[in-house]
Amino acid sequence: MADRLELPAYARSLGLALTGGDEGGMPVLTVDFGPMVEGRPQHFHGGATAGLLENAGYAALRTALNAAGRDPVLKPINITVQYLAAGKSQASFAVGRITRLGRRNANVTVEAWQSDRSRPIATAVMNILMV
């Protein structure tokens, strides 16, 4: 379950946190706006948004693996981030969805949004190797 997950050091120092809520059984992550995530004035840096997406992707995969009683080492193969709208100076949220969970690899789709869940600000597709 989501409350058994632990975010990596990078995620915690960037200010990412689990909201405690979920979507389709997958944990929702959030980050408040602040200097640590700011790019051009009053907007999220693309890299910070990518960090949120990536961590939500791993959190979703860990949740699915826990449910299946699996605990492999995860290695990133690639990530493609699509930026859809500027991240404004307010909290952002993200949640992942497992598109395919195989034996050796997983394909995860992630969405990030701000005040309106139906208007994503960025999406990502990640391929992750499990060993």
Partner 1 sequence: MTTPPTPRFDAREASKWFFRHGHTGWLGLRFTEQGDNWVELELPWREDLIGDSSQHVLASGPIISLMDMASGMAIWQTRGTFQPVATLDLRVDYQRPARERASVRGRVECYRITRSAAFVRGIAYDESPDDPVAHVAGCFMTIGADPREANPALRGGGNG
Choice from 4, 24, 69, 78 touching partner 1 (CB under 8 A): 78
Within 79-118, the residues that bind partner 1 by CB under 8 A are: 79-83, 86
Residue 119 binding partner 1, by CB under 8 A? no
Please answer whether residues 49 and 87 qualify as being in contact, where contact means their C-beta atoms are separated by less than 8 angstroms. Answer: yes
Instruction: Give the span between the Cα atoms of 128 and 118, in whole angstroms.
Output: 27
Instruction: Give the span between the Cα atoms of 57 and 2, in whole angstroms.
Output: 13
Choice from 3, 4, 24, 40 touching partner 1 (CB under 8 A): 40
Residue 70 binding partner 1, by CB under 8 A? no
CB of 131 to partner 1, least distance (A): 12
Please answer whether residues 37 and 50 qualify as being in contact, where contact means their C-beta atoms are separated by less than 8 angstroms. Answer: no
